[in-house]
Amino acid sequence: MFPLSLLAFLACGIAAAQTDSEKTKNEVNKGLQAFQNAQYELAIEHFRQARKLDPESQSVALYLAGALAYAYIPGVDTPENVKLADEAIETYKQVLALDPQNVRAFKWLGYLELNLRRLEEAKSYYRQAAQADQHDPEAIYSVGVLDWIQAYMRRVAARTKLHLPNSGPPSSITQPFCAKLRTDNLPVVEDGVQMMKKAMQLRPDYEDAISYQSLTFHERAEIQCNNKAALSDDRRQADEWGVKGIEARKHKAETPKDTEPPSAPSPESVLLEPPPPPPPPPPPPPPPPPPMPKKPVRVIH
């Protein structure tokens, strides 16, 4: 028989465990209720308390990270707002420590880092999401978007130094910076082309991927240094993808939509849903203007 003291000790331990479990559940329920009532700061505090009570719970970590990410306002660089994003990032990293292949966590990390303008970190997380789920077109597309953003920003920076417009003549292929720009941009441009191709294989009507493919070929055209034939071919492909993008958007607009209003989502589903993908592409650059016709020379006799 067990000594009474040992039985009493075990009983106290079980009671304490049950109490901690009940406290965690109580804090989670309060957090969900506060989130549903748009009391985001209160919801975050309840989820923080639940996280302290049960640091090994993946669902609690996801609730806290989701509430922090939901409270964060993209594009607002106040210290308080950035702190929310950084805490969300750290919490999603803790989710990955519990579940190293959690695609949702990778995508939220990519989304937050992108909005904080940390592009290399964002692309790394999106790529890890694409590797964890090779059938997720949005994760693959997101890598391609980051490729295009990086190539575009480098080219614009190089042109700005010479006081050239972002697009249009003169082409970058004739500029002194072209060789270095090609070295820097060719790997990301080629990767971007492949990423968009894979995304469209998984989702053939992916209109944003189609449009970004057009923009990516425009970037490749701009690094075909002193090679007018290659520049013309890339511009041709860019124009073809641009037309396909317009057709895909037109088809989507003409497709009948479900008129039945969706039911209100639960706070759990909102906190656990994946983030939106990177924003749709900007409009493609305008075509270069046609050459001005030569005025006839008037000869005065």
pLDDT in tens, 64-87: 999 999 999 999 999 999 999 999
Task: Fill in the amino acid letter for 179.
Answer: A
pTM: 0.85
pLDDT in tens, 20-47: 789 999 999 999 999 999 999 999 999 9
Classified as helix, coil or strand, 99 is coil
231 Cβ contact partners less than 8 Å away, ≥ 6 residues apart: 171, 173, 221, 222, 224
Rounded mean pLDDT, 87-102:
97
Q: Is the pLDDT of residue 294 over 90?
A: no
Are 223 and 172 in contact by the 8 Å Cβ rule? The answer is yes
